[in-house]
Amino acid sequence: MSSGAIEGLLPAVPEDWNTALAVVAHPDDIEYGSASAIARWTAQGKAISYLLASRGEAGIDAIDPIDAAPLREQEERTGARAVGVETVEFLDHRDGVIENSIELRREITRAIRTHRPEVLITGNYEVKMPNGMTNQADHRAVGLATLDAARDAGNRWIFPELIEEEGLQPWGGVRFVMVAGTSTPTHGVDVTGEALQRGIESLRAHAQYTSGLGRASFDPAPFLSWFATQGGGAMGTESAVLFDLHWTIPPGPPPWVRT
């Protein structure tokens, strides 16, 4: 499907880029949908890295955080490899109480200036999730901090210590931020076929976590397939993952250019 929208359907996410950084709060945040899109993009040869604010150590009630942190980190690395991602980094914020702070923005900015991505991927930062539930606090904090860091990364006068102390020059090359799991998607990614299957395998890697939620028999395939079918209906494909795009660099020519 082309990037142009058919009337009444969402357009495709632009794919004329080569590098992306996904920034989320916890292990498994990417796997509930976005990983299928990432599988599509890595199959195209795009280079994608993950940055997680925490190691998800507070996510399993029956496992002490000291033991849960390395377990969940390993599940995330395994899930990332299932969709072609090898670079997975953690910021070590305390799971459950992440704040949208200047320090968090600085850390995300550091990662953007280091990896120099053209695109950022993050999660829903709204108070309410599309299903009506209150969104988890860490999700809200990390999503908003990522949006701000997309601009911070290109401004040499914001966090100048990253230049002076670490040699990280400004990077203003982030074209847009893709926000997953919102109630107001603007674009979609066709994940019909292999991409969806690899996304399912990525979530399967988090078996210890889903078991710890009391879902020992949880099979990601029906859930993610149903979710992708809903997205496909909005895009006019069999299966799709939907995103709300925030443009950091306006698409197309500047408004003062006349053609």
**189 has a pLDDT exceeding 80:** yes
Residues with Cβ within 8 Å of 23's Cβ and at least 6 positions away in sequence, in order, are 51, 52, 53, 108, 111, 120, 121, 122, 142, 146, 149
Question: What is the chain's Cα-based Rg?
Answer: 18
Q: How far apart are CA 36 and CA 41, in angstroms?
A: 9
pLDDT-derived band at 141 (thresholds 50, 70, 90) equals very high
CA nearest neighbour of 250 among 7, 14, 82: 14
What the block records as the tokens of 180 is 């997953």
| Mean of pLDDT values over 132-161 | 97
**258 has a pLDDT exceeding 70:** no
**1 has a pLDDT exceeding 50:** no
What the block records as the tokens of 191 is 């994940």
pLDDT-derived band at 6 (thresholds 50, 70, 90) equals low
How do residues 212-244 score in pLDDT, each as one tens digit?
Answer: 666 666 788 999 999 999 999 999 999 999 999
What the block records as the tokens of 138 is 């860490």
On the CB side of 135, how many CA atoms lie within 13 Å of its CA?
22
| Mean of pLDDT values over 74-86 | 97
Q: Strands 240-247 and 176-180: what pairing?
A: antiparallel
**171 has a pLDDT exceeding 80:** yes
For all residues of the chain together, what is the average pLDDT? 93
pLDDT-derived band at 11 (thresholds 50, 70, 90) equals very high
| Amino acid in position 160 | P
Residues with Cβ within 8 Å of 192's Cβ and at least 6 positions away in sequence, in order, are 232, 237, 238, 239, 240
